[in-house]
Amino acid sequence: MERKFAVSAAFIVLLAIAAYWLGRDSAGSLSPWYSPVVEPGEVSAALWVDANVESRQVFSGDLFNCEMLTAVSRQYCSVGGAWELADRPNERFSKNERMFLTNSSSQAWQLARDYGVQFVFTSGRQGFYAYGWKPPENGKFGDVNYFRKVYDRSGTEIYRVLGEGEIPKPMLNATV
């Protein structure tokens, strides 16, 4: 009887140690899911969009911001919603993610134009742009040759994507 108890206790201790080590290793990759997927400043920005931007404009952002913009601000988004019904959804998600992860403002602009994106919704936190939580490269959106900042509060920025007629001529010929 004592031997069964000792074996059972040893098994439980080993199980607890394994759970501790596995939990410690996975905490970093799971941490974005423990935090709110939309921050209060992003909600305020969506309310600003609702009050200041004509409805049914096309936005790009991370998946959760796009879902929020659709619900709160009556906007369209480059990703989110019933994406499985969209044309070429994997290509669309991949290009949306590339737009946020590239350092190139001209490439981001071209990707936005490919999908008719009129506004880019950014924040400083990691975003779920298509395939996992990743930190964005938001600095490129500050390039006034391609984007114009229309909102900047509480860590959230919104940029208008410039049309071809607004881009300086030398920039239109730049390689993407």
- What's the confidence (pLDDT) of residue 166? 80
Q: Is the pLDDT of residue 92 over 60?
A: yes
Show the DSSP H helices in 53-163 as ranges.
63-72, 89-101, 105-114
Q: Provide mean pLDDT across the span 61-90.
A: 82
* Reported confidence tier of residue 103, pLDDT bands at 50, 70, 90: very high
| Angstrom distances, CA of residue 43 to CA of 11, 60, 61, 72, 158 | 48, 15, 13, 8, 12
Place of tokens 């974005």: 32
Segment holding 10, helix H or strand E? helix 2-34
Q: What is the pLDDT of residue 174?
A: 45
Give the 3-state secondary structure of 51-76: HHCCCCCEEECCHHHHHHHHHHCCCE
Angle at 42 (CA atoms; ends 36, 46), nearest 5 degrees: 130
What is the tens place of the pLDDT at every residue in 6-52?
766 666 766 666 666 666 655 556 666 566 788 999 999 999 999 99
Q: 145-173 pLDDT, tens per residue?
A: 999 999 999 999 999 999 987 876 554 44
Q: Do residues 120 and 150 lie in contact, with contact meaning Cβ atoms separated by under 8 Å?
A: no
pTM: predicted TM-score of the whole model, two decimal places? 0.77
* Overall size of the chain counted in residues: 176
Residue 164, sorted as left (phi over 0), alpha (psi -120 to 50) or beta, turns out to be: alpha
Q: Is the pLDDT of residue 59 over 60?
A: yes
pLDDT digits (tens, 9 = 90+) for 110-144: 999 998 999 999 998 888 887 888 999 999 999 99
**Region of poorest pLDDT, from 6-10, 61-65, 101-105, 118-122:** 6-10
| Cα–Cα dist 128/32, whole Å | 9
Which pLDDT value is given to residue 23?
60
Q: Higher confidence at residue 20 or residue 106?
A: 106
Residues 68-71: contacts with CB within 8 Å, 24+ apart?
68/38, 68/42, 68/43, 69/121
